[in-house]
């Protein structure tokens, strides 16, 4: 069979698309120069009308060209779905057809969120900022891709299956013999003749299932230690700060190499670290509930028992792999990766929380709470923490991105996850050896990782803008 | 000031001791030692052979004693074979009669140990490799710092302008692209048969003879990731300065915008980026490891990976000492520099 072209029947649009990109590049440069000159003019001399007009024209030009490019992308995506055959769809069209569940979910999320945005608090305000919306769209695209990919809705082939004759084939190559299988390798084959597209989609799930939770755990550890360090100060603060600086002074990669080697795993050190780090969320929840309800003993006891039972059950399964009911299991090599990422992230969170708490501690409402006779933990968790939420939420988004980069680094050095694992870092590592001849197996995961982290950064930027506004 | 520096140096030494002890502990766990013995001897060594190898080389002593020996405060290990009477001593260099070996050999005596991977003295390996990485770092700083400051100042002098938005988007994109991603993209675009083949995808030859062709891509890859972060910090600091009262006064007095930016704002706006650039060094160290692996440039980062991958204890410890010293010294410089640049801060 003939290999697929990139855009199939829509390839008539390709010259326009390329021209539009070239025009955009020129227009952006022109715009920067023109606005810069115009601004200088206003200050230095009389307002020069012609320069200002020129600047306005370039701004308008950039908007029109960017709009045209967006429109063309929409045509490629939607047109690709509507085309009848795969040859007519091309690679872009077929990929976008495979991603149909993602588009639907994304559309539904945005419609619902925008309709109810006034009732959704900070999340709703996100939809007032263009940057935030773009970031949110990219992030949700990958989240949905990961989830549907894990449900086997999107992938075209088994990410581990090797098809002979497909080694390092370019995107759109047809399989030699089709027996009920998907007839093409949409994004080509890697150096072990596996489908790059399926591996990228499966790799998204590897990131989505680890990064947010690892970040959350790091935040629990950082908050539980950072608040008392700032509030009580003194020797506690000195010791905790020293330890956190100690961890921060370690080069991350050296730490990974020391923690994530099979020899260290044999000694069980990661399990002990997990045992220590994973206890923090339980401590956090218990203190949170206890300080809130300690004047209502019945309520407190009920909530505490529920938290402890649930928490310890998950804890025994996750940290010790000894769930009494046998429901929760945690693959040991994933645990190592998880623990080392949490370990690397927690000191930074600790420093941030400590800094914010030191500032908020001096506010009047904290003094008022103290005169009312509120306990120290109530003040920390129910007075200081809610007022620190803005910067913490923003940092949470940024830190998920950073965690994604760290996971990629682990994969890049072949540490932790199994060598067959489809995660993006490992795939880049596999592809880099033949980069100058066959770049496509490494490029697809590279762009995926970049877009996800970019989305998270834009989301954080949007959130920061909106949370500063109120 | 003197007391402050003394205290900081004290904390630094304590931190370095703690960190090297952690590295020492992790590399001296039994499974790691077993791996070391097997890579030194052969893969199918029996358990007894492993134990006797470890015994002979002094790996089975208590951890603290070994750490003391490495530091040079405890006499070096001497082993006498009960059957043959052959003596092996930790402090004996090659070709030296073990009985004449000095008693102490450790960091304090200037002896960094012997690398089991490269079969060479650790100090000479570290010295040559650090020199190569120093070359890389120098060019990275030459590219990164001026461009980052320029982007940050241009973006920050008019908050919210078109220029600001374009440059901020660029800096966000650059912080979102880790080295192993930008490196892959740059190689594909500029050094592969799929793109223009103008540069080389490896920098191995740059160790002896660095040219634009083999050295630009690694330098660019490391710089790109750092530029965004420094530029964002510079922008934040610049916008803050531009809203200050004295800038408004200068503007109302009739000082031209150019002079306001160059003479009044710039100096104050560059205080914060100075610390950021200094604190960026530990990050650069990470970037160096990734880029040297990606481009096969045999510098310090490459050695670190080799040492860690083969559990070469002496070399790994030396690497961590260097890394830790770099991190802590830059922290110290950034603190002291901050005081000099900003006279309002008093150290007490």
**For residue A39, what pLDDT is reported?**
65
CB contacts under 8 A, A 257-296 vs B, are: 257-259, 261, 263-264, 266-267, 269
B40 touches chain A (CB under 8 A): no
> B23, A258: Cβ pair inside 8 Å?
yes
Contact A351, A226 (CB under 8 A): yes
pLDDT tens track, chain A, 470 positions: 678 888 888 888 888 889 999 999 898 888 878 877 776 655 555 556 777 778 788 888 888 999 999 999 888 888 888 888 888 888 888 888 889 999 999 999 999 999 988 888 878 888 888 889 999 999 999 999 999 998 888 888 888 888 877 888 888 888 877 666 788 888 888 888 888 899 999 999 989 989 999 999 999 999 999 999 999 988 999 999 999 988 888 888 888 888 888 778 888 888 899 999 999 999 999 999 999 898 888 999 999 999 999 999 888 888 887 777 777 777 878 888 899 999 999 999 999 999 999 989 999 999 999 999 888 999 999 999 998 888 899 999 999 999 999 999 999 988 877 777 888 998 898 888 888 788 888 899 999 999 999 999 999 988 888 877 75
Size of the A and B interface in Cβ pairs below 8 Å:
162
Does residue B348 surpass a pLDDT of 70? Answer: no
**For residue A47, what pLDDT is reported?**
54
More confident residue, B200 or A286: A286
Please return the burial class of A76, using the count of CB atoms within 10 Å of its CB with bins 0-12, 13-18 and 19+: buried
> For the residues of A365-420, what is the DSSP string, one character each?
HHHHHHHTT--HHHIIIIIIHHHTHHHHHHHHHHHHHHHHHHHHHHHHTT-SS-TT
Contact A438, A168 (CB under 8 A): yes
CB contacts under 8 A, A 382-401 vs B, are: 401
More confident residue, A357 or B159: A357
Rounded Cα distance between B49 and B38, Å, is 9
> A435, B184: Cβ pair inside 8 Å?
yes
Closest in A36, A258, A458 to B26, CB measured: A258
Does residue B345 surpass a pLDDT of 70? Answer: no
**For residue A224, what pLDDT is reported?**
94
Q: B182: which DSSP letter?
A: H
Average pLDDT over residues B116-132: 88
Closest in B29, B188, B282 to A443, CB measured: B188
B313 touches chain A (CB under 8 A): no
Q: Looking at beta carbons, which residues of chain B come within 8 Å of A431? A: 184
Distance, C-alpha A143 to centroid of its chain: 8
**For residue A220, what pLDDT is reported?**
94
CB contacts under 8 A, B 212-271 vs A, are: 256-258
pTM: 0.90
* Predicted complex: ipTM over 0.90: no
Angle (CA) A122 B240 A226, round 5°: 55
The pair of structure tokens assigned to A186 is 């949409």
Q: B80: which DSSP letter?
A: E
B277 touches chain A (CB under 8 A): no
Distance from CA of A405 to the nearest CA of B (A): 7
Contact A428, A411 (CB under 8 A): yes
B123 touches chain A (CB under 8 A): no
**For residue A365, what pLDDT is reported?**
92
**For residue B45, what pLDDT is reported?**
78
**For residue A238, what pLDDT is reported?**
92
Choice among A229-243, A282-296, B61-75, B86-100 with the minimum mean pLDDT: B86-100
Average pLDDT over residues B105-125: 83
Distance from CA of A246 to the nearest CA of B (A): 6
The pair of structure tokens assigned to A189 is 């084959």
Torsional class of A94: left (φ above 0), alpha (ψ -120 to 50), beta (otherwise): alpha
> A254, B173: Cβ pair inside 8 Å?
no
Q: Which of A132, A254, A255, A460 to mutate to test binding with chain B, by most B CBs within 10 Å of its CB? A: A254
Distances (CA, A) of B105 to A323, B102, B114, B250, B322: 50, 7, 11, 64, 19
B311 touches chain A (CB under 8 A): yes
Distances (CA, A) of A329 to A220, B13, B51, B306: 22, 43, 36, 34
Q: Looking at beta carbons, which residues of chain B come within 8 Å of A26? A: none
B50 touches chain A (CB under 8 A): no
Does residue B209 surpass a pLDDT of 60? Answer: yes
Distances (CA, A) of B295 to A459, B181, B197: 33, 13, 16
Find the largest Cα–Cα distance for chain B.
93
Rounded Cα distance between A393 and A386, Å, is 11
Distance, C-alpha B27 to centroid of its chain: 20
Rounded Cα distance between A402 and B4, Å, is 34
Percentage with pLDDT > 70 across chain B: 95
**For residue A454, what pLDDT is reported?**
94
> A264, B27: Cβ pair inside 8 Å?
no
Distance from CA of A93 to the nearest CA of B (A): 23
> Across chain B, what does the average pLDDT equal?
84
Rounded Cα distance between B55 and B34, Å, is 12
**For residue A10, what pLDDT is reported?**
82
Closest in A266, A425, A453 to B31, CB measured: A266
A431 touches chain B (CB under 8 A): yes
Q: Which pLDDT band holds residue B93 (cuts at 50, 70, 90)?
A: low
Q: Looking at beta carbons, which residues of chain A come within 8 Å of B197? A: 436
A457 touches chain B (CB under 8 A): yes
CB crowding B244-281: b at 16 or more within 10 Å, else e: eeebeebeeeeeebeebbeebbeebbbbbbbbbbbbbb
């Amino acid at each position: 069979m003939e290999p697929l072209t990139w855009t199939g029947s829509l390839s008539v649009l390709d010259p326009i698309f390329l021209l539009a990109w070239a025009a955009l590049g020129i227009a952006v440069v022109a715009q920067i120069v023109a606005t810069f000159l115009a601004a200088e003019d206003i200050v230095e001399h009389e307002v020069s009308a012609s320069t200002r007009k020129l600047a306005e024209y370039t701004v308008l030009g950039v908007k029109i060209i960017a709009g045209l490019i967006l429109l063309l992308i929409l045509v490629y995506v939607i047109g690709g779905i509507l085309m009848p055959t795969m040859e007519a769809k091309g690679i872009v069209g077929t990929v976008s057809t495979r991603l149909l569940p993602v588009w639907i979910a994304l559309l539904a999320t945005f419609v619902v969120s925008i309709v109810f945005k006034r009732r959704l608090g900070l999340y709703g305000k996100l939809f007032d900022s263009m940057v935030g919306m773009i970031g949110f769209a990219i992030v949700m695209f990958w989240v949905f891709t990961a989830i549907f990919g894990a449900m086997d809705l999107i992938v075209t082939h088994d990410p581990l299956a090797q098809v002979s004759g497909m080694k390092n084939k370019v995107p759109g190559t047809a399989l030699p013999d089709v027996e009920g299988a998907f007839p093409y390798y949409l994004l080509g084959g890697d150096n072990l003749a596996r489908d790059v597209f399926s591996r990228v989609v499966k790799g998204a799930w590897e990131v989505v299932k680890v990064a947010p939770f690892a970040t959350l755990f790091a935040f629990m550890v950082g908050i539980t230690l950072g608040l008392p360090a700032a509030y009580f100060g003194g020797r506690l603060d000195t010791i905790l700060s020293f330890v956190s600086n100690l961890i921060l002074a370690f080069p991350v990669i050296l730490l990974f190499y020391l923690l994530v080697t099979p020899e260290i795993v044999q000694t069980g050190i990661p399990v002990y670290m997990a045992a220590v780090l994973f206890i923090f969320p339980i401590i956090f929840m218990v203190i949170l509930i206890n300080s809130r309800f300690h004047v209502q003993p019945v309520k407190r006891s009920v909530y505490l028992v529920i938290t402890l039972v649930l928490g310890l059950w998950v804890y025994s399964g996750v940290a010790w792999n000894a769930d009494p009911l046998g429901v929760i299991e945690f693959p040991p090599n994933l645990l190592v990766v998880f623990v080392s990422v949490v370990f690397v992230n927690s000191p930074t969170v600790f420093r941030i929380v400590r800094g914010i708490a030191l500032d908020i501690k001096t506010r009047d409402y904290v003094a008022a709470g103290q005169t009312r006779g509120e306990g120290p933990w109530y003040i920390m968790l129910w007075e200081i923490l809610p007022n620190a939420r803005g910067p913490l939420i923003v940092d949470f988004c940024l830190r998920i991105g950073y965690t994604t980069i760290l996971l990629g680094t682990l994969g890049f050095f072949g540490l932790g996850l199994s060598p067959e694992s489809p995660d993006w870092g490992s795939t880049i590592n596999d592809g880099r050896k033949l980069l100058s001849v066959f770049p496509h197996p490494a490029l697809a995961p590279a762009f995926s990782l970049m877009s996800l982290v970019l989305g998270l950064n834009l989301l954080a930027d949007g959130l920061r803008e909106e949370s500063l506004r109120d | 000031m003197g007391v402050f520096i003394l205290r900081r140096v004290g904390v630094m030494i304590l931190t370095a001791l703690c960190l090297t002890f952690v590295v020492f502990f992790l590399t001296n766990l039994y499974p790691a030692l077993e791996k070391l013995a097997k890579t030194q001897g052969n893969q199918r060594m029996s358990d007894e052979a492993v134990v006797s190898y470890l015994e002979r080389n002094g790996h089975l002593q208590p951890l603290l004693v070994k750490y003391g020996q490495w530091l040079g405060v405890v006499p070096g290990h001497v082993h006498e074979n009960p059957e043959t009477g052959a003596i092996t001593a930790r402090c004996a260099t090659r070709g030296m009669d073990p009985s004449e070996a000095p008693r102490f050999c450790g960091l304090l005596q200037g002896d960094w140990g012997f690398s089991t991977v490269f079969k060479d003295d650790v100090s000479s390996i570290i010295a040559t490799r650090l020199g190569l990485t120093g070359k890389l770092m120098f060019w990275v700083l030459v590219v990164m710092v001026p461009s980052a400051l320029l982007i940050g100042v241009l973006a920050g002098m008019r908050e919210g302008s078109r220029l600001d938005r374009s440059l901020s988007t660029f800096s966000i994109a650059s912080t979102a692209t880790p080295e192993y991603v930008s490196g892959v993209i740059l190689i594909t675009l500029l050094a592969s048969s799929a793109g223009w083949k103008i540069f080389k995808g490896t920098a191995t030859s740059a160790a002896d003879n660095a040219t634009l062709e083999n050295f630009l891509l690694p330098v660019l890859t490391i710089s790109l990731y750092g530029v965004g972060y420094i530029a964002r910090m510079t922008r934040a600091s610049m916008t803050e300065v531009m809203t200050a009262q004295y800038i408004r006064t200068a503007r109302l007095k009739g000082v031209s915008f150019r002079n306001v930016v160059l003479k009044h704002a710039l100096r104050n706006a560059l205080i914060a980026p100075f610390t950021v650039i200094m604190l960026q060094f530990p990050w650069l160290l990470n970037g160096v490891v990734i880029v040297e692996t990606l481009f096969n440039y045999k510098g310090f980062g490459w050695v670190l990976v080799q040492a860690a991958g083969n559990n070469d204890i002496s070399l790994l410890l030396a690497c961590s000492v260097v890394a830790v010293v770099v991190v802590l010294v830059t922290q110290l410089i950034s603190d002291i520099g901050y005081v000099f640049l900003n006279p309002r801060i008093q150290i007490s």
